[in-house]
Amino acid sequence: MIPVSDVISAVSSEERLSLFKAIASLENSDSSILRKELSLTRKQFYSSMKKLVDSHLVKRTSGKYHLTSLGKIIFNMQTKVEIALKNHWKLKALDSIIKFTDNKDVTAQERQMIVDKLIDNNEIKAILISNNICESQCYASSEQKQQEEQQRHSHQLKELLMH
């Protein structure tokens, strides 16, 4: 199994990330085209490519570089990270609003409306809304357990007092 840290490290520098994205987007991705496109020296190109190949994100077939299945998934996730970063200030505002409304009587539906107003991207909305629903369900579940526990204690206390 490939360690997660190796995969993250493989795309952690701007140089390797640019190379990774270029391979994903270019149809004819041989070394000379990639080097020219990214203005990389031979050494920069091959050391970056080694990291991508060793982490199983990229493979070379017939002199051309392609993303592996793992590479395609990581590329998709990396794209989502970029979208989230483009929405950083909106997400920060959302965090502030939710923190402010945490102790108030704000329903999950009202929180969903806030997310809908602030966030344009449907994938990010889905993630935030599913997390909010989970949080509210978990909160409701723990609240229900507390009420059941209080009822049980209350019942036990009544029994003790009756004896």
> What percent of the chain is modeled with pLDDT above 90?
45
Domain that holds residue 16: 4-77
Check whether 56 has a pLDDT greater than 90.
Answer: yes
State the average pLDDT over residues 128-153. Answer: 57
Check whether 138 has a pLDDT greater than 50.
Answer: no
HEC per residue, 102-161 = CCCCCCHHHHHHHHHHHCCCHHHHHHHHHHHHHHHHHHHHHHHHHHHHHHHHHHHHHHHH
Domain match, 17 and 57 both: yes
Number of domains in the chain: 2
Check whether 10 has a pLDDT greater than 70.
Answer: yes
Domain match, 97 and 59 both: no
pTM beyond 0.95: no
Cβ contacts of 68 within 8 Å, gap of 6 or more: 56, 57, 58, 59
Domain match, 93 and 143 both: yes
Q: What tokens does 43 get?
A: 């050494």
Instruction: Specify the CATH number for the domain of residue 50.
Output: 1.10.10.10
90 DSSP assignment: H
The pLDDT, as a whole number, for residue 118 is 87
Domain-embedded: residue 104: yes
The pLDDT, as a whole number, for residue 27 is 78
